Amino acid sequence: MTVHTGQSTAKAAGEGARGRGRATGERPGRLRRALSTHWYAWTMVAPVVIVLGVIIGWPLGRGIYLSLTDANERNVGRTIGANHIDATYKFVGLDNYVDVLNDPVFMQRLWWTVVWTVCCVASTFLLGLVLANMLNREFRGRAAYRMMLILPWAVPGFVSVFAWRFLFNRDNGLLNKVLDGGGISAVPWLDDPTWAKFSVIAVNVWLGVPFMMVAILGGLQSIPGELYEAAEMDGAGPWKRFVYITIPGLRSVSSTVILLSTIWTFNMFPVIFLLTRGGPGDSTEILVTQAFRQAFVESPRDFAGSATWGVLILAVLMIFALVYRRSLRKQGEVW
């Protein structure tokens, strides 16, 4: 048994250049052969496949289905004590999508979500790039600066958000006290739509810069030093070296971190939910917080509406990922 599987996976674990598994042919015994060859691999990935299938696949399918119904708190099936109430919601086709897309609220939220994502990602990336370039030099105290600069990353996000809420407090927050000390009147950080937008972006940038910085730093260190020396020999100044060596050298790292942080920011729930609850009014509500609000904050809970928003968010992200991937392909990236 051991010997047999050892041999078969030995082959499988080799280079696999022969395209194992690509052969098509439905001869009897093929399944058994495949099983005996691949059972180790399949067993090892089984937990993930099961987890993904049951806990992501099923809810995803169900979410899409819910978005085609009129499900809400009142008509979904539920069990209260010993009584079971059957679900009474019904299939309504694409009505929810028509409603949401015709509702100006969706476009408002989408627009603000895009603004929020672009501002956050652009600012974190630029700040991360600047700081990484500084930290990539040799000077005294570099390790200490590095430690301090990654600190926001080490603190759980929701703790940081509360810390900022504390600093932003209109009457008692430190920021306003400092401004007051400088003779500047208090700023309604979280109570005015424009300032609230500024504040949530600032906090998210604060949270996101350490990751960007460290990722870019890793990318910088993988650029061979000889390139810089050669460029310097040729008389290229610091700016030219930055533009012609550093930027191209960082391309694969930056394309990855920009994609990741765009997706994360687009779906960034805690910052907005905990800092402003989408307020004041609904001025900082992004798509995901809106979807959450419909299902868990408002009454009656609108499950179908929330699911519809969820599907639309996923669609927007998928389109973004496809466009992004295509634009990278054009530049010759493999991703």
Partner 1 sequence: MSSQRGKRSPLASVGLHATLIGASVIAVFPVLWVLLTSLKPAKYAITTDFFKDTTLDNYRYLVDKTSFFTWFGNSALIAGVTTLLGVFISATTGYAVSRFKFPGMRPLMWTLLITQMFPMAILIVPLYNLMGQLGLLNQPVGLIITYLTIAVPFCAWMMKGFFDGIPVEIDESGRVDGLNPFGTFWRLILPLAKPGLAVTAFYSFITAWGEVAYSSAFMVGDENLTLAGGLQTFVTQYTANWGPMTAASVLIAVPAAVFFLFAQKHLVAGMTAGATKG
Interacting stretch for partner 1, rule CB under 8 A, among 89-97, 103-111, 192-200, 268-276? 268-276
Interacting stretch for partner 1, rule CB under 8 A, among 92-100, 103-111, 155-163, 193-201? 155-163
Kindly give, in sequence order, each residue whose CB lies less than 8 Å from that of residue 250, ignoring residues fewer than 6 positions away: 129, 216, 219, 220, 223
Among 149, 196, 200, 201, binds partner 1 (CB under 8 A): 149
Q: Which of helix, strand or coil describes residue 154?
A: helix
CA of residue 152 relative to chain centroid, distance: 18
Q: How many residues bind partner 1 (CB under 8 A)?
A: 116
Residues 168 and 189: beta-carbon distance below 8 Å: yes
CA of residue 292 relative to chain centroid, distance: 17
- Contact set for partner 1, span 179-198 (CB under 8 A): 181
Q: Residues 227-230: contacts with CB within 8 Å, 24+ apart?
A: none
Residue whose CB is less far from partner 1, 119 or 265: 265
With binding defined as CB under 8 A, does residue 280 bind partner 1? no
With binding defined as CB under 8 A, does residue 150 bind partner 1? yes
Q: Which residues pair with 85 in a beta bridge?
A: 78
DSSP symbols for 207-234: HHHHHHHHHHHHHHHTS-HHHHHHHHHT
Q: How far is the CB of 70 from partner 1 (least distance, A)?
A: 14
Among 100, 119, 200, 215, binds partner 1 (CB under 8 A): 215
Q: How far is the CB of 87 from partner 1 (least distance, A)?
A: 10
Residue whose CB is less far from partner 1, 119 or 312: 312
Residues 289 and 273: beta-carbon distance below 8 Å: yes
DSSP symbols for 104-153: HHHHHHHHHHHHHHHHHHHHHHHHHHHHHHHHTS--TTHHHHHHHHHHHH
Q: How far is the CB of 104 from partner 1 (least distance, A)?
A: 20
Interacting stretch for partner 1, rule CB under 8 A, among 92-100, 103-111, 193-201, 269-277? 269-277
With binding defined as CB under 8 A, does residue 160 bind partner 1? yes
Tokens (6 digits) for 20: 């194992």
Among 36, 76, 99, 114, binds partner 1 (CB under 8 A): 76
With binding defined as CB under 8 A, does residue 136 bind partner 1? yes
Residue whose CB is less far from partner 1, 45 or 118: 45
With binding defined as CB under 8 A, does residue 266 bind partner 1? yes
Q: How far is the CB of 310 from partner 1 (least distance, A)?
A: 3
Among 115, 118, 148, 184, binds partner 1 (CB under 8 A): 148
Please state whether the peptide bond connecting residue 224 to the residue before it is cis, i.e. omega within 30 degrees of 0: no
- Contact set for partner 1, span 82-101 (CB under 8 A): none
With binding defined as CB under 8 A, does residue 111 bind partner 1? no
Interacting stretch for partner 1, rule CB under 8 A, among 90-98, 99-107, 146-154, 193-201? 146-154
Task: Quote the CA–CA distance of 209 and 150 in Å, as a whole number.
Answer: 8
Task: Find the DSSP H helices in the chain.
Answer: 2-13, 30-51, 58-66, 95-102, 104-135, 142-154, 157-168, 174-181, 193-221, 225-233, 238-241, 247-249, 251-266, 270-275, 287-292, 303-330
Among 196, 214, 278, 284, binds partner 1 (CB under 8 A): 214
Distances (CA, A) of 256 to 125, 134, 212: 12, 21, 10
With binding defined as CB under 8 A, does residue 224 bind partner 1? no
Distances (CA, A) of 326 to 114, 122, 322: 20, 20, 6
- Which residue has tokens 């907005």? 272
- Contact set for partner 1, span 14-73 (CB under 8 A): 16, 20-21, 34, 37-38, 40-42, 44-45, 47-49, 51-52, 55-56, 58-60, 62-63, 66
